[in-house]
Structure 1
């Protein structure tokens, strides 16, 4: 049984873009060519790399961070750039496993500059 699309809360983390959003590509099994990735409905996918760094706790301790690749089904446009702090819209995580190993995959409905989310709240 795979755990899929579990909501994730990143309120205790700062997310820094380490690679600007791009069209997600996959290797076509028949031709060997790289083609744009789509979901099961045929919607084009995008991806962005972010570094998730915990915010300091009450004692000032700030844990280590982790780089995450996040897949989105909405084009983030040119407003999201490397080095920018961002927030993910409705992020989820899914567990995957195959013959090569296992891991987590992150998805979000979208991405916005961090200040944009704070101003809405």
Structure 2
């Protein structure tokens, strides 16, 4: 697929950390051992799991949420823990498919504490 890094507007969702950010790892092609994953410039990548849930509409209805795994292109720093509400900085999605199926890969430049933390809780 040709479309990559499509910007995503997430203002109508609340995002809660379900697994705290960690360094993204991959298998070394030669040794099979886990090694830190980097982008094509050699910058270390991180990964965070978030529970994304739509904010209620005018009638108070909010559909069920979904867990998403997001690759972060910068170190999110300390202070992001399971259960915290956050915002994604410059989130994008990239569609993918292979013989086993398809989906979208999530990516963002980083994390920020949720602006509406009191309303999201």
Provide Cα deviations, 1:69-117, integer angstroms capped at 9, x if missing partner: 0111111111111100000000000011223321110000110110389
User: Would you say how many aligned residue pairs link Structure 1 and Structure 2?
Assistant: 117
CA distance in 1, matches of 2:79, 2:39: 24
> Alignment partner of 2:115: what SS?
helix
Q: 2:102 maps to what in 1?
A: 102
Unmatched tracts of structure 2, length 5 or more = none
CA distance in 1, matches of 2:74, 2:19: 17
CA distance in 1, matches of 2:8, 2:69: 14
Question: Given the alignment of the two structures, is residue 43 of structure 1 paired with residue 43 of structure 2, yes or no?
Answer: yes
Q: 2:3 maps to what in 1?
A: 3
Q: 1:79 maps to what in 2?
A: 79
The question of whether the paired residues in 2 share the 8 Å contact of 1:2 and 1:96 is answered with no
Backbone CA RMSD of aligned residues = 1.5
Distance change >3 Å, CA 66–CA 14, structure 1 → 2 = same
Q: How far did residue 27 of structure 1 move?
A: 0.9
Using the size of structure 1 for normalisation, the TM-score is: 0.91
Q: 2:67 maps to what in 1?
A: 67
> Alignment partner of 2:31: what SS?
coil
